[in-house]
Amino acid sequence: MIVQIYAATSVAGALKMVELGVDQIGFVAGDYGEVFGELTFEQARAIADALRGKAVSSALTMSTDPAEILRMAAAVQPDVIHISSDTGAVGVEAMAQLRERLPDGVQLMKAIHVDGPGSINVARQFAPVSDILLLDTKVSGMPGVGATGVTHDWAISRQIIEQVGGQARVILAGGLVPANVRQAIAVAQPWGVDSNTGTNLPGDPVAKDWDKVAAFVRQAKNSE
């Protein structure tokens, strides 16, 4: 089971995640004025460089401009580009263009807002132009998809995973914490699981609780 944790804000924090067994480490690459934990391209590049050969680096972008996303990819050089804007803001055609123009070896991850059976068809549309689908939750009034601390219907995620198998790998996200991640895995059967707010210190939008991170990794890995 692949474990992805957001959002690293320093090299030291990212390396601590490696120490605790995190496979894929995410960070916000860019100043969007919208989400917590935003880093300059230079700060994000330092984390990506530090993780090389140790864990997969995932750079989250809120940009909807393919040219700007490509500029970030060139500056930061992560392993994964995470498109976290509203699901329709970077459409299927734009995703296909990005996938063609990204450097070899860079993967493209698309956040999908899971809010009902209609999400299954949306995920099916994006699977052929994505390496990874991140099944997450959107809350009205919050930018993009994710970082809400809210779960969604894992049974719908299970249907998505069954239908996109062979086209894209799937990471389950949205309100996952050490106490529920094993149940989520049992229901949805994803390739990986993700935690952001669920492994933070209480009341802090970015600082990680290392005991929670360790417990999340342990619970996820023991589900195998």
Q: What is the pLDDT of residues 172-205, one digit of tens each?
A: 998 899 999 999 999 999 999 999 988 999 888 8
pLDDT in tens, 23-66: 999 999 988 766 778 899 999 999 999 999 999 999 999 999 99
Rounded to an integer, what distance in angstroms lies between the CA atom of residue 180 and that of residue 90? 31
In angstroms, the CA 162 to CA 156 distance is: 10
Kindly report the backbone phi and psi dihedral angles of residue 5, in degrees, each rounded to the nearest multiple of 5, phi listed first.
-125, 130
Q: How confident is the model at residue 147 (pLDDT cuts 50, 70, 90)?
A: low
The per-residue pLDDT for 119 is 87
Q: Decide if 27 contacts 59 (C-beta within 8 A).
A: yes
What is the 3-state composition of the chain as percent helix, strand, coil, each rounded to the nearest 5? 40, 20, 40
Tell me which of 3.20.20.70, 3.30.450.20, 3.40.50.920, 2.60.260.20 is the CATH number of domain 2-221.
3.20.20.70
Query: What's this model's pTM, rounded to 2 decimal places?
Result: 0.93
Say if residues 97 and 121 touch (Cβ distance below 8 Å). Answer: no
Rounded CA separation 153/180 (Å): 13
Q: What gap in Å lies between CA 85 and CA 82, rounded to an integer?
A: 9
